[in-house]
């Protein structure tokens, strides 16, 4: 890559990151660059002077998958790559362990990595942009009672859901909340999004997988307790209604190649899910293996 003047870091609010951070600072200093911290809303941990994402050649996320997601949200609008460093166990988005930071930075600078392009869900509320989600968008009840959501696909009704809510996920996010709610696991390379209901109260609303070009519109009626909108686990517009909440409309669009993640281990999504135990073989197979190993 070209000249590196500034390296941005985003850090986990609590995990031990001092050793990995020191390596990043030494690496940058050896190249005449400075390390700055990109501020994340709601986090008060300070490890370096603040810097804006657009001034950075790339961004290093020190923590876990949540830290990488925060970095992606900052990096995508200014088209900066993100290197995720696991200060703990490896996740789906962190491809480097903390002790390997120096060699990882050398490989990245030399171009010895796989660019992993990630899609995003762009969301509008009543016609106004409210942000993006790399994992998922969840619309759930804010308190007691149910949230009622009419799901329209390509401007035609799909289903009405009364229950705890729904979750809309990218292929990356399909292995999280969606899978827990009974939805399908999407192939990492698929240009698709999936809509899954959460604890529906009756009816028949199977998960629906939509092509990238499909339009998705959600008509949300939160009733007296209201509905909560979350993007990548972060609440958007979290004010608790004082009375009956006015219904609102969410428009969701799938955008491919919205962010660039630096991949240094070439582990597939499915291999990573197996490593982390999200996908596990039937216990029956383990019993058979145990029997086969007995003399």
Whether 65 is catalytic is: yes
**Which listed CATH number (3.40.50.10330, 3.30.360.10, 3.30.300.30, 3.40.50.300) goes with 6-113+264-283?**
3.40.50.10330
In the chain, ranges of CATH 2.60.200.30 domains: 120-256
pLDDT at 245: 73
Q: Judge: domain 120-256, CATH 3.30.1330.40.
A: no
Choosing from 5, 44, 65, 100, the catalytic residue is 65
Angle at CA of residue 199, ends 225 and 251, nearest 5°: 65
Question: Is this prediction's pTM over 0.85?
Answer: yes
Give the pLDDT score at 237: 61
Taking only the tens of pLDDT, the chain with its 295 residues reads: 667 899 999 999 999 999 999 999 999 999 999 999 999 988 889 999 999 999 999 999 999 999 999 999 999 999 999 999 999 887 889 889 999 999 999 999 999 998 999 999 999 999 999 999 999 999 999 888 899 999 999 999 999 999 999 999 999 999 999 999 999 999 988 999 999 999 999 999 999 999 999 999 999 998 888 899 999 998 886 455 555 678 999 999 999 999 999 998 878 888 888 888 888 899 898 888 888 887 7
């Amino acid at each position: 890559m070209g000249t590196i003047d500034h390296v941005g870091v985003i850090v986990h609010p609590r995990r031990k990151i001092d050793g990995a951070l020191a390596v990043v600072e030494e690496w940058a200093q050896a190249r005449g660059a400075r390390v700055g911290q990109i501020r994340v809303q709601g986090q008060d941990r300070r490890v370096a002077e603040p810097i804006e994402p657009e001034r950075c050649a790339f961004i290093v996320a020190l923590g876990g998958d949540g830290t990488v997601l925060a970095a992606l949200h900052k990096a995508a609008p200014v088209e900066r790559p993100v290197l995720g460093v696991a200060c703990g166990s490896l996740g789906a988005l962190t491809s480097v362990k903390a002790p390997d930071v120096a060699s990882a930075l050398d490989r990245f600078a030399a171009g010895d990595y796989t660019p992993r392009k990630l899609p995003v869900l762009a969301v509008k509320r009543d016609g106004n942009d409210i942000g993006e989600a790399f994992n998922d968008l969840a619309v759930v009840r804010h308190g007691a009672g149910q949230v009622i959501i009419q799901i329209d696909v390509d401007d035609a009704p799909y289903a009405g859901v009364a229950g705890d809510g729904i979750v809309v996920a990218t292929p990356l996010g399909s292995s999280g909340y969606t899978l827990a709610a009974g939805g399908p696991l999407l192939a990492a390379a698929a240009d698709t999004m999936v809509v899954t209901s959460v604890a529906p109260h009756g009816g028949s609303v199977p998960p629906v997988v939509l092509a990238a070009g499909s339009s998705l519109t959600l008509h949300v009626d939160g009733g007296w307790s209201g509905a909560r909108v979350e993007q990548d686990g972060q609440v958007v517009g979290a004010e608790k209604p004082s009375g009956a909440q006015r219904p609102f409309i969410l428009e969701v669009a799938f955008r491919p190649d919205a962010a660039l993640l630096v991949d240094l281990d070439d582990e597939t999504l499915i291999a990573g899910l197996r490593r982390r135990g999200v996908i596990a073989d039937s216990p029956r197979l383990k019993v058979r293996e145990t029997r086969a190993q007995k003399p």
